A and B are shown apart, each in its own frame.
Chain A
Amino acid sequence: MTLAAGEARGMRRVMLGATTAWLAVFTLAPFLIVLAISLVEARFGVPPYEPLFAWSKGLWPVFNGTLANYATLGSDPLYLEAFASSLRIAATSALITLIVAYPMAYAIARARAELRFGLLMLIILPFWTSFLIRVYAWMGLLNSNGLINALLIKLGVINEPLTLLNTEFAVHLGIVYSYLPFMVLPIYAVLERMDWTLLEAAEDLGARPFSAFRRVTLPLSLPGIVAGWLLVFIPALGEFIIPDLLGGPGTLMLGHVLWTEFFSNHDWPLASALAVSLLVMVLVPAAFLYRVLRRAEVAS
């Protein structure tokens, strides 16, 4: 073994060790704490839940674990509805984001090389402002006496202000707006390294531009689409601020339910069970899409 190889191996150990330690302290440990809380019952006191192991009776600790919280989640229609509507809103928002982001990513990838960086910056730049402030700005725009309604009335398109704020439409709008760069960037990254000769080859073989797009560009950009979709869908699923500020009384989303259980009802165990369920819900499609991604990557 050469000196350089030994050094590289030592470096690798340090890097791996640091990564593992970080993940253990800041990801695994908090998850295990949340998981433990989700398995016990709530009580009055500090902390507001029973310990998982009780030492009171005899020599051995008594296991207090119960799946009652999960049973509640599964049986109470409120939670099931929250799950369903969160899934629906996150999925449709991610889809709309994709439809908006794809042409942008495509245009940037096909732009002249010296323009690309500038165009990407224009996509990213608004996101250097605080997320919260930008959502508040949307409240101002969507208000019944906000900018959009004022403009539409002035133009004579409508007589009465439209109810835009505190609707599911506003939630979709907020998610699409907030997460757009997370969709644009991975799709751009894939399109940017695509060999455009492939499109010429498709055209040469008789494919009209749309057919060439459908049969060549689209399948080859699938890894970017999947990555972008995950980056939007997953945070949207647990999104709290956007539905809280822009959503209406009818917008039921998990993030909000979780917040209510935790802060209003002080039911930490139920809130924890919700959090764990949310994580599982995210992991299953993520694992599936990860496999799709890997397969597509092997092919190209």
Chain B
Amino acid sequence: MDRPTEGAPPVIRIEGVAKSFGAVPAVAGVSLDIARGDFFCLVGASGSGKTTLLRLIAGFERPDTGRIVIDGEDMTSRPPYARPVNMMFQSYALFPHLTVADNVGFGLEEERRPRTEIRERVAAALDLFDMGGLAARKPHQLSGGQRQRVALARALVKNPKILLLDEPLAALDKKLREKAQLELVALRERVGITFVMVTHDQEEAMSMATHIALMRDGALCQVGTPRQLYDAPQSRFAADFFGVANLFEGRRSGNAVECAEAAATLVVDGGAGEGEVAVMVRPEQMMVSRERPARANVLPAALTNIVFLGNASICHFTLPGGKAVQARLSPTDLAALGALSAGDQVYLSFDPAAARVLAS
């Protein structure tokens, strides 16, 4: 896997870690390196083991097998209070009986820092989030966004090597969440440490992460940059998880895929797999024209309906065999087609280079 920091030792090395709760395996043999300074996202559906993996890094769970090495030191059997990582909880877990300042200073007091140092570092951490004026408030007197920032300040004030974030934006409303996404990315650049975030939201992962690990059934499905995961998914699951995928099942020999459901022989350009494969085309790679284009991979289709999204439109088509296909058209592309109505016959086409071949 190519990484910008290849060669440098990873800040987190997870080696063959497995963890079961009773008879239920939550994490099943995961090995993963996370590079220093990464904004690393663990994504997956609920029950995929992403939160358990995060809790294993934090030390709240002990692995049944395997090792967790942080910054070159084996942390596998270290309790959470002795690990150089801090966590921001999904519920924020602010201490309700303590003021904002005492919440942020909690970890420094555990380190037995001098009073003046605690005061200064708490003030600096609160200033980082423009929360200086709310130091004397109790958590119940804060808004959701303010609580989120107190939780961040509390986790960062101890200067951890790694900040763990468990669904940090799930409790915010949509508008606030988008703003907070940008703030978190900017924050990571400012503080320079590694962030490891758990999210179930693939868009959130794509827009924030430098690297993503997609998890399924306790195992890693694919690890890479958001681009790699979107453009070059290695499985149907990954293709479906990150965005919409048109999948054409078929039999491959050489660069030709005999596809019965499209009633056509599709031409692909490289990619893995032989025999039973699926050809994946993203909706935005699917071209639509009234006249038959002079190009490989042309599929006649009938328009089913158009969903207007503002900056683009999603057009749903049906192939003669009944298969549904989606295309995402920009307003310009849509205007170029003239007035469209349901049932109109058009031609869908895609470039062989835009298609990904997924082995079965």
Q: Range of interface residues on chain A?
A: 20 to 34
What's the Cα separation between A207 and B59 when bound, in Å? 13
Q: Range of interface residues on chain B?
A: 20 to 34
**B86-121, CB < 8 A from A:** 86-87, 89, 91, 93-97, 106-107, 110-111
Is B81 on the interface with A (CB-CB < 8 A)?
yes
Contact B80 A198 (CB under 8 A): no
Contact B111 A300 (CB under 8 A): no
- Chain A residues, Cβ within 8 Å of B60: 200, 203-204
Residue of B nearest to A300 (CB): B96
In-complex Cβ contact of B110 among A206, A219, A300 (8 A)? A206
Is A115 on the interface with B (CB-CB < 8 A)?
no
Task: Name the distance in Å between B97's Cβ and chain A's nearest Cβ.
Answer: 5
Known: A204-B58, A206-B111. A216 touches B89 (CB 8 A): no
Q: Mark A280-300, 1 if CB is under 8 A from B, else 0.
A: 000000000000000010111
Task: Name the distance in Å between A204's Cβ and chain B's nearest Cβ.
Answer: 5
Is B138 on the interface with A (CB-CB < 8 A)?
yes
Is A201 on the interface with B (CB-CB < 8 A)?
yes
- Chain B residues, Cβ within 8 Å of A206: 81, 107, 110-111, 158
Contact B81 A299 (CB under 8 A): no
Task: Name the distance in Å between A113's Cβ and chain B's nearest Cβ.
Answer: 15
What's the Cα separation between A97 and B27 when bound, in Å? 44
Residue of B nearest to A208 (CB): B81
Contact B107 A205 (CB under 8 A): yes
What's the Cα separation between A208 and B82 when bound, in Å? 9
Is B47 on the interface with A (CB-CB < 8 A)?
no
Is A7 on the interface with B (CB-CB < 8 A)?
no
**B152-175, CB < 8 A from A:** 154-155, 158
Contact A203 B81 (CB under 8 A): yes
Is A13 on the interface with B (CB-CB < 8 A)?
no
Contact A197 B89 (CB under 8 A): yes
What's the Cα separation between A42 and B93 when bound, in Å? 63
Contact A197 B81 (CB under 8 A): no
Task: Name the distance in Å between B276's Cβ and chain A's nearest Cβ.
Answer: 47
Count CB-based A-B contacts (< 8 Å).
Answer: 65
Known: A205-B154, A207-B81. A200 touches B97 (CB 8 A): no
Residue of A nearest to B79 (CB): A203
What's the Cα separation between A58 and B89 when bound, in Å? 81
In-complex Cβ contact of B80 among A197, A200, A296, A298 (8 A)? A200
Contact A211 B58 (CB under 8 A): no
What's the Cα separation between A203 and B110 when bound, in Å? 10
- Chain A residues, Cβ within 8 Å of B138: 299
What's the Cα separation between A207 and B97 when bound, in Å? 17
What's the Cα separation between A208 and B85 when bound, in Å? 15
- Chain A residues, Cβ within 8 Å of B96: 198, 220, 299-300
What's the Cα separation between A211 and B80 when bound, in Å? 13
Contact A296 B97 (CB under 8 A): yes
Q: Mark A184-221, 1 if CB is under 8 A from B, else 0.
A: 00000000000101101111111110010001100110
Task: Name the distance in Å between A267's Cβ and chain B's nearest Cβ.
Answer: 49
- Chain A residues, Cβ within 8 Å of B58: 204
Contact A207 B110 (CB under 8 A): yes
Known: A206-B107, A206-B110, A299-B138. A201 touches B95 (CB 8 A): yes
- Chain B residues, Cβ within 8 Å of A200: 60, 80, 87, 89, 93
- Chain A residues, Cβ within 8 Å of B80: 200, 203-204
What's the Cα separation between A200 and B59 when bound, in Å? 10
Is B140 on the interface with A (CB-CB < 8 A)?
yes
Residue of A nearest to B139 (CB): A299
Residue of A nearest to B87 (CB): A204
Task: Name the distance in Å between A259's Cβ and chain B's nearest Cβ.
Answer: 43
What's the Cα separation between A216 and B89 when bound, in Å? 16
Task: Name the distance in Å between B95's Cβ and chain A's nearest Cβ.
Answer: 6
Known: A203-B80, A204-B86. A195 touches B110 (CB 8 A): no
Contact B81 A204 (CB under 8 A): yes
Q: Mark B130-160, 1 if CB is under 8 A from A, else 0.
A: 0000000010100000000000001100100
Contact B97 A205 (CB under 8 A): no
- Chain B residues, Cβ within 8 Å of A219: 97
Of listed B89, B94, B138, B154, residue having the most chain A CB within 10 A: B89
Contact A195 B91 (CB under 8 A): yes
- Chain A residues, Cβ within 8 Å of B111: 206
- Chain A residues, Cβ within 8 Å of B97: 219-220, 296, 299-300
The 4 A-B residue pairs with the shortest CB-CB distance in the complex, in nearest-first order: A205-B107, A206-B110, A201-B93, A300-B96
Residue contacts A-B, CB under 8 angstroms, 28 given: A195-B91, A195-B93, A197-B91, A198-B93, A200-B60, A200-B80, A200-B89, A202-B106, A203-B60, A203-B80, A203-B81, A204-B59, A204-B60, A204-B81, A204-B87, A204-B155, A205-B81, A205-B86, A205-B106, A205-B110, A205-B158, A208-B81, A220-B96, A296-B97, A298-B140, A299-B96, A299-B97, A300-B96
Taking Cβ atoms with an 8 Å cutoff, the residues of B that contact A are 58-60, 79-81, 85-87, 89, 91, 93-97, 106-107, 110-111, 138, 140, 154-155, 158
Knowing that A197-B91, A204-B155 touch, tell me 18 more A-B residue pairs with CB under 8 angstroms. Answer: A200-B80, A200-B87, A201-B89, A201-B94, A202-B95, A203-B60, A204-B59, A204-B81, A204-B86, A205-B86, A205-B158, A207-B81, A207-B106, A211-B110, A215-B106, A220-B97, A296-B97, A300-B96
